[in-house]
Amino acid sequence: MSTMLEVSDLRVYYGKVEGLHRASLKVGEGSIVTVIGPNGAGKTTLLGAIMGLLPCSGSVRYAGADLAGTSVEARVSMGLCLVPERRELFGELSVEDNLRLGAFQRIRRGERGLDADMEAVYARFPRLKERHTQLAATLSGGERQMLALGRALMAKPRLLMLDEPSLGLAPRIVREIFHIIADLRKTGVAILLVEQNARAALQVADYGYVLEPGEVALEGRSAELAENPRVAESYLGFAGKS
C-alpha cells in the first residue's frame, strides 16, 4: 500500500507560541488513520497546517508531491479535503447549493457527472435529500455534519480529513456518523480522522497516533493502541484491564 500523505517534523507557531512540535505521521492510500489526544494537543492545528490554512515548517508530502507553497484551492483540486470542526457551511444557502459548491473546482474544470455524484451523496444521506431546498443554517447538528461531509465528498477527495466529526452530537447520531465513515472506506478514499471520542475512532481506524500537547506521543495499529494501558486510562475512560 503506497503512502498518500506523509507529514514529517511539522511545526506550527502562533506568534511565539508553538502550536505543534515536530509532528510526523503517514496515511496510506485507502486507509483510515486517526489522531487522538486531549483538548489543546494541536489536533486541529495539525489538520489546518496540512490543508494549507496555517503557515508551518517541516514537510507535507501528498501523493508524492511536496505541498510547500501550494494554495488551499490547489490542494482541494488535488483531492485533499478538510471537514473542519466548525463545519463552515454556507448558512444562508440551500443544502443543494452547499453540495454543488463542494464541487466548485470540478465545475471550473468542466467535469461532468455532477448530478450522479449529487444523487450518490443523497443516497448516503437521505436526510439531506429531504431537506435539499432548506437553508443550511436551519439544519440540526447532525444534519449539519452530514452536509459538511457531503459537501466534501462532492469534491471527489482522495484524502478526506475529518476534524471532530462527532463533536456536540447525540450518541445515536455519533454512531450513524461513524458508520458512514467506516462505509466510506469502500469508495477507496483515505481518511485522516481527528477525534476526542477515542474509542469510536480506534474502532473504525486501521492505525492511530496519540497527540499530546504539541507532539506525537504514541503510535500503532488501532487494535494495539486500544489495548495500551496508557491510552486506555487517558483516553478510553477506564483504568486498563489488569
- Unique residue bearing C-alpha cell 461532468: 112
The C-alpha atoms of residue 69 and residue 55 are separated, in whole angstroms, by 10
For residues 166 and 195, the answer to whether their CB atoms sit within 8 Å is yes
Q: 93 vs 120, which CB is nearer to other proteins?
A: 93
Q: 191 vs 198, which CB is nearer to other proteins?
A: 191
144 binds other proteins (CB under 8 A): no
The C-alpha atoms of residue 200 and residue 14 are separated, in whole angstroms, by 31
β pairing state of 80-83 and 32-36: unpaired
CB of 94 to other proteins, least distance (A): 10
Task: Tell me how many residues contact other proteins (CB under 8 A).
Answer: 28
The C-alpha atoms of residue 231 and residue 238 are separated, in whole angstroms, by 9
Q: 96 vs 227, which CB is nearer to other proteins?
A: 96
The C-alpha atoms of residue 173 and residue 89 are separated, in whole angstroms, by 19
The C-alpha atoms of residue 234 and residue 50 are separated, in whole angstroms, by 26
111 binds other proteins (CB under 8 A): no
Altogether, the residues listed in the chain come to a count of 242
The C-alpha atoms of residue 117 and residue 156 are separated, in whole angstroms, by 9
Build a one-symbol-per-residue string for 14-53: x at contacts with other proteins by CB under 8 A, - elsewhere. Answer: -------------------------------------x-x
For the chain, the 3-state helix, strand and coil shares in percent, each to the nearest 5, are: 40, 30, 30
The C-alpha atoms of residue 124 and residue 196 are separated, in whole angstroms, by 25
CB of 5 to other proteins, least distance (A): 17
Q: 66 vs 88, which CB is nearer to other proteins?
A: 88
Q: 72 vs 239, which CB is nearer to other proteins?
A: 72
Q: 97 vs 219, which CB is nearer to other proteins?
A: 97
Q: 161 vs 210, which CB is nearer to other proteins?
A: 161
13 binds other proteins (CB under 8 A): no
Build a one-symbol-per-residue string for 71-110: x at contacts with other proteins by CB under 8 A, - elsewhere. Answer: xxx--xx---xx-x-xxxxxxxx---x--xxx-xx-x---
150 binds other proteins (CB under 8 A): no
Q: Would the CA dihedral through 218, 222, 224, 226 be positive or negative?
A: positive
* 180-239: contacts with other proteins (CB under 8 A): none
Query: Which residue ranges make up the site for other proteins (CB under 8 A)?
Result: 51, 53, 69, 71-73, 76-77, 81-82, 84, 86-93, 97, 100-102, 104-105, 107, 151, 155
